[in-house]
Amino acid sequence: MSEPYYITTAISYPNGRPHIGHAYEAIAADTIARFQRSMGRDVRFQTGTDEHGLKMAQAARARDIKPRALADEMSSYFKEMCDTLNISYDRFIRTSDADHHAASQAIWQAMEANGDLYLDRYEGWYSVRDEAFYDEKELTEGEGGQKLSPQGTPVEWTKEESWFFRLSRYQEPLLQLYRDQPDFIRPETRRNEIVSFVSGGLSDLSVSRTSFDWGVPVPGSPGHVMYVWVDALTNYLTGIGYPDRDAALAKYWPANLHLIGKDIVRFHTVYWPAFLMSAKVPLPRQVFGHGFLLNRGEKMSKSVGNVVDPMMMAERYGVDQLRYFLLREVSFGQDGSYSHEAIVNRANAELANSFGNLAQRTLSMIFKNLDGELPTLDRTEEDAALVRSVAAACLDETPRAFEQLAFSTGIEAWMKAVFACNQYVDAQAPWALRKTDPERMKTVLGTLFSVIRDLAIAILPVIPESAGKLLDQMGVAAEARDFAAIESQIWYDELRTSGYRVAQPVPLFPRLELETADT
């Protein structure tokens, strides 16, 4: 039985349409999910939308519609984005789903049974945008004396009756967790920030509101709805059947990876594990806080006007070209920058000119010169050296990097193997061998065919549509496209003797054009 692997994204807050940051996280998580499936794991992959809270209520009021109507509309845009970007989720969860309300109320009752919830009155600084409370010591001052949260968002003084969670009780258990499981928070910079924060002392946490009613009702406490982070974080359990101890929950929990943005690391690595400890639920194995995408080095902002629609980018560049660029260009975990020129140059140089052209030339020569038939191979040491080089990248370097979420490193290793193949083509010159040594030409083309299959399988998690189309053209069965298949030594002869013939290939990556006036 294959080992289970459960990965989640943060659920997106749909008070506005998706931006490229949402797409970046979804693409990264999807690549991880596809990679783990290719490694033979039984993967569960969840994403979705976080629909409750004051921001949604206010946005709905501004449009004179019900919060549920706004949630239905806006959530559909996020689901459309995921489907357009080829995100292979198993569940798109919505916090307005009935089973999520049940799960949130169940974890609330479990925390209450453990003595960790109490009713009191809250007075303090609250950020509507962050859906978070902050201590005075965390605030800074903005223009006109406006107090700002650590995220730079406005805060307001709030007074209301609230349920509190005894977060202060969990300071030492959390510090023990960070000591015992140093990989619980990644990358290391995020871990250091959280250890410092928790070491400074924890205050009890307000976990309910009475000033609005768009949320999960607190069980047994009329007028209170759960503060959005209790509700939101519980989605990771909802999607696998909590609180029922059924097969899905038993199989997939604890989650292997919560993939989130660096701005919400505190909620996932302080509040969430404390809630789970209180509710007697095992903790997830790892939380990874990735960096931000910057538009030409600037953080995206509606006021600046540089927020980019991922649907428009996918249409403009191609879904796989966008996926490839974001994972190739940015060192995962750090902030990264993008621009039209950078996307076009990277996609053309590496996908169109290097990998796409390698596949197109090879399949075309087999189609034209060998009538589409795969030849028997009489390999020299030069051929064997190329096969070993590509196998080392596809079976060792690239998957090892992907396992560590070092996408750019893994793709770099893959790209070096592509370059090695192109150097081999130039050195062997099969177009010249066609006249001088036709038998040698056959072995060269057959060798290239075999290594291109390996390269296509290895990059499949990143560019699933394009690599999948290439493997279709190469006659590679859908069930023979994982990393175990790369190790197979008999697939080529089986395909050769099956009667398969290479057809006229279809180019994979049309060249993108630089434009003179781009934003």
CATH number of the domain residue 448 falls in: 1.10.730.10
Q: What is the DSSP letter of 375?
A: P
**306 in any annotated domain:** no
Domain shared by 111 and 43, yes or no: yes
Structure tokens at 277: 């400890």
Structure tokens at 488: 């197979």
Domain shared by 263 and 353, yes or no: no
How many structural domains does the chain have? 2
Distance of CA 283 to the CA centre of its chain: 20
Domain shared by 270 and 379, yes or no: no
Domain shared by 74 and 191, yes or no: yes
Structure tokens at 37: 């499936």
Domain shared by 41 and 179, yes or no: yes
**What are residue 201's phi and psi, to 5 degrees?**
105, 145
Q: Which of 253, 270, 291 is the last residue of a domain?
A: 291
For residues 127 and 270, give the distance between their C-alpha atoms in angstroms, rounded to a whole number: 18
Check if the beta carbon of residue 63 is closer than 8 Å to that of residue 26: no
Structure tokens at 53: 């809270």
Number of CB atoms found within 10 A of residue 18's CB:
23
Instruction: Kindly report the three-state secondary structure assignment for every residue of 278-296.
Output: HHCCCCCCCEEEECCEEEC
Structure tokens at 143: 């223009």
**308 in any annotated domain:** no
Q: What is the pLDDT along the chain (519 residues), one digit of tens a residue?
A: 689 999 999 999 998 899 999 999 999 999 999 999 999 999 999 999 999 988 898 889 999 999 999 999 999 999 999 999 999 999 999 999 999 999 999 999 999 999 999 999 878 888 878 777 788 888 998 888 899 998 889 999 988 899 999 999 999 999 999 999 999 999 999 999 999 999 999 999 999 999 889 999 999 999 999 986 899 999 999 999 999 877 788 899 999 999 999 999 999 999 999 999 999 999 999 999 999 988 776 665 555 566 788 999 999 999 999 999 999 999 998 999 999 999 999 999 999 999 999 999 999 999 999 999 999 999 999 999 999 999 999 999 999 999 999 999 999 999 999 999 999 999 999 999 999 999 999 999 999 999 999 999 999 999 999 999 999 999 999 999 999 999 988 999 999 999 999 999 999 999 999 875 444
Domain shared by 256 and 162, yes or no: yes
Structure tokens at 26: 């979804």
What range defines the domain where residue 120 resides?
A: 4-291
Domain shared by 253 and 115, yes or no: yes
For residues 48 and 171, give the distance between their C-alpha atoms in angstroms, rounded to a whole number: 30
**What are residue 94's phi and psi, to 5 degrees?**
-125, 135
**516 in any annotated domain:** no
pLDDT at 304: 57
**307 in any annotated domain:** no
For residues 464 and 456, give the distance between their C-alpha atoms in angstroms, rounded to a whole number: 9
Domain shared by 378 and 231, yes or no: no
**300 in any annotated domain:** no
Domain shared by 349 and 283, yes or no: no
The conformational region for residue 141 under phi > 0 = left, psi -120 to 50 = alpha, else beta, is: beta
Structure tokens at 508: 């994979």
Write down the pTM of the prediction: 0.92
pLDDT at 302: 55
pLDDT at 518: 46
Domain shared by 111 and 206, yes or no: yes
Q: DSSP string of 49-78?
A: E---SHHHHHHHHHTTS-HHHHHHHHHHHH
Size (the chain), residues: 519
Domain shared by 246 and 389, yes or no: no
Q: DSSP string of 158-172?
A: EEEEEEEE-GGGGHH
pLDDT at 301: 59
pLDDT at 438: 96
As beta bridge partners, residue 267 has none
**492 in any annotated domain:** yes
pLDDT at 122: 78
Domain shared by 33 and 164, yes or no: yes
**18 in any annotated domain:** yes
As beta bridge partners, residue 205 has 165
Any idea what the Cα angle at residue 182 is, between residues 326 and 173, rounded to 5°? 125
User: What is the domain-level CATH number for residue 160?
Assistant: 3.40.50.620
**130 in any annotated domain:** yes
